[in-house]
Amino acid sequence: MRALDRVEYRLAVDAEARDRIFNLRYRAYLREGAIAPSDDERFTDPVDDQPNCLIFGVYADGDLAGAIRISLTVPGLPQVPTASVFPDDILPQIEAGLVLVDPTRFVADAAWSRELPELPYLTLRLPWLAMEHFGADIMLAAVRPEHYPFYRRLWGNTVVSAPRLYPGLAKPVLLSQLDYGKAAPRVHALYPFFRAREDERETIFGAGVIAWPSVAGRQAPRARPV
């Protein structure tokens, strides 16, 4: 909770903020051997420009320390990036009308990872808060097999599919997921800092920050009450 006081979440909407995050991604993925070097030292893909994609910077003491990308299934825009890799597991859930949160491109600055060991937990608060705010049903986590135990311990994720190659990455990822309604009581009891602070979700995701598309009279996911 003390570490949380040092952190600010910012939605990257301008070109400069996005560019800094793309460079942070590049350095993080290159350090892990997941991508090849490139002259522009940026790591981005077409998903970054999709309307149902949110790119967040995590700032510690005002400095960019981490970042994460969150995609949501919304009316008219049901696709999320992980569905292209695991369509047999994800598309039936989308077709059943479930609201899915798909966090990807979860990265941290190397120096800040040493300075602030809580950074992974504080970054993953963002998709957790999105689950609650948008009334989502399922959170996906396409992660490298060696990273899966962290998600199992933290949220209780279960493996849905064996590792597959993810476009643009050199190392395969497996698909895990959690049912938010079932997981939330346990997670909130074990990790109270995952609970939203007063008005926090509205500040991050609320009206005036994101305009969700509506298609043929259907409404976007409704936020759960604070």
Average pLDDT on 135-148 reads 95
Chain segment 65-79, per-residue pLDDT in tens: 999 999 999 877 788
- Side-chain-side CA neighbours of 68 within 13 Å: the count stands at 23
Average pLDDT on 130-156 reads 95
Percent of the chain's residues with pLDDT above 70 = 91
What is the pLDDT, as a whole number, of residue 119? 95
What is the pLDDT, as a whole number, of residue 199? 87
What is the pLDDT, as a whole number, of residue 213? 42
Helix, strand, or coil (residue 84)? helix
Please state, in angstroms and rounded to a whole number, the distance separating the CA atoms of residues 80 and 103. Answer: 9
For residue 206, give both structure tokens.
Answer: 């609320």
For residue 190, give both structure tokens.
Answer: 């074990």
Query: Dihedral through CA 82, CA 74, CA 12, CA 114, nearest 10?
Result: -40
Q: To which residue do tokens 């903020």 refer?
A: 17
What is the pTM for the complete model shown? 0.89
What is the pLDDT, as a whole number, of residue 216? 30
Q: To which residue do tokens 């522009």 refer?
A: 40
What is the pLDDT, as a whole number, of residue 223? 43
What is the pLDDT, as a whole number, of residue 207? 58
